[in-house]
Chain A
Amino acid sequence: MIWQIIGAFMATVAGSIYLEAPKNCILRTGIIGAAGWATYLLSSKIYGPVFSTYIAGLIISTISHIFSRLFKVPVTIFFIPGVFPIVPGLSMYRAVYFFIKGSSQVGQGFLEETIKISGMIALSIFTIDTIFKTIGKIKKASFLDEQD
């Protein structure tokens, strides 16, 4: 499991190079990706993949928002690479694989999982964005509403 988390760190770092992230943000996105994937691994043993994605998404977007306020860059720069580990690539591949193989039943199951996981990522963004928006409105502290 340690190796998987290290993999998540390095994959996120490499992914942010691929997406041309600013140089001083690369290692920070790695931390976000590793934290998100560690959360996912821990919670997927109890809650299964879909709900764990939601929990991991909450962690990822919270850290991204905090980093964006700390380092004064748009939140997207941390969030897009940080979310890479939980993007449902594996279930999407499996859906295609089983559809070609002719077992549509299994394929549909994986397709459903892909859609559910994407929805959960969206839901976690919704949750944290709304919370931070509300905090920003309550505390009109100068540096808090500067960044979005």
Chain B
Amino acid sequence: MINKSKNMDYKKLVETAALAGKIMMESNAESYRVEDTMLRILKVSGLETTEAFAIATALVITLDDPSIDAITVVRRVTIRNTNLNNISQVNTICRNFTESKYNLNQAYSALKEIQDERYKPFTRGLGIILFTSFFALLLGGNINEIVVAGMNGLILIFVNKIDKRISMDGFIKNALSSAFIAIITVLLKNYVFKNINIDVVTASSIMPLLPGAAITNAFRDLLHGDYMSFGAKALEAVVVALSIALGVAIGLLLTGGAL
């Protein structure tokens, strides 16, 4: 690993590491994985000091050696949307780069080419609908419950569409989605499908909103001693859970579902 490659564009190397780290952090990877990836990329330079630091909301990289001026970059991470494909792709690119299958320019342009959404909107939408409806089946729901949960999946898609237009706050978006879900479920129970169980339908419909990824990554960070990241992600999970609870509460109150 330690072979000082001369004429390497250190600035570009740091940029590459920062880009890789930023993509991973935005795709909701664990902090230690982000740090590890950035360090591996930086170590290719063979310089003396390579430091990478990532917490859930920002990342810092330093590259230093007696022979060069120190390079430090800071990247602010504001969005976090789970995207497993991005994590896996960055992982592969980083591996190819450190095993010198890619040169620096190839690695950089490969990172630039990573797309946010690889599935077509239709496939993604179908995914959400199938997710909520099969979750109702998982919880032991009958055919009507499955159908209503699938319809709630449509609501989630609809709110996502609105969100893309006006870019709402995450809190409002979750609260709005779950409020709509609760309202529609109670109305359908009252007027169309009288034998459905509101518990099962609502629980399976809010499933895509729940902070499962945040919780699991938070605890994995905690295990690795990244207490700051744990705090940030655990709080994120609590806030998301609160927003969903608020939305469901509003929906139930408006329709009188809790009476």
- Which residues does A use to contact B, with CB under 8 Å? 3-4, 6-8, 10-11, 13-22, 25, 37, 73-74, 76-77, 79-81, 83-85, 87, 89-90, 92-97, 99-101, 118, 121-122, 125-126, 129-130, 148
Contacts and interface: CB of A to CB of B under 8 A. Distances in A.
Contacts of A95: 245
Interface of B: 29-30, 32-33, 36, 82-89, 91, 117-119, 123-124, 126-131, 134-140, 199-200, 202-204, 206-208, 210, 212-213, 215-217, 219-220, 222-223, 241, 244-245, 248-249, 252-253, 258-259
**A10, A14, A125, most chain B CB atoms within 10 A:** A14
A7 B134 contact: yes
Contacts of A118: 215
Contacts of B259: 101
Contacts of B244: 92
Contact of A18 (B131, B203, B245, B252): B131
Contact of A10 (B137, B140, B200, B245): B137
A20 B131 CA distance: 13
B84 A97 contact: no
A87 B206 CA distance: 11
Contacts of B86: 20
Contacts of B135: 7, 11, 84-85
20 contacts: A7-B134, A7-B138, A11-B130, A14-B134, A18-B128, A19-B83, A20-B117, A20-B124, A21-B84, A22-B88, A74-B87, A76-B87, A81-B84, A84-B212, A89-B203, A96-B252, A99-B249, A100-B249, A100-B252, A101-B259
A82 B123 CA distance: 20
B117 to A, nearest CB: 7
B127 A18 contact: yes
B87 A77 contact: yes
Nearest to B83: A20
A14 B133 CA distance: 10
Given A83-B216, A90-B139, A97-B258, A148 B82 contact: no
Contacts of B206: 89, 93
B210 A100 contact: no
Contacts of B137: 3-4, 6-7, 10-11
Given A80-B212, A100-B252, A100-B258, A11 B223 contact: no
A90 B138 contact: no
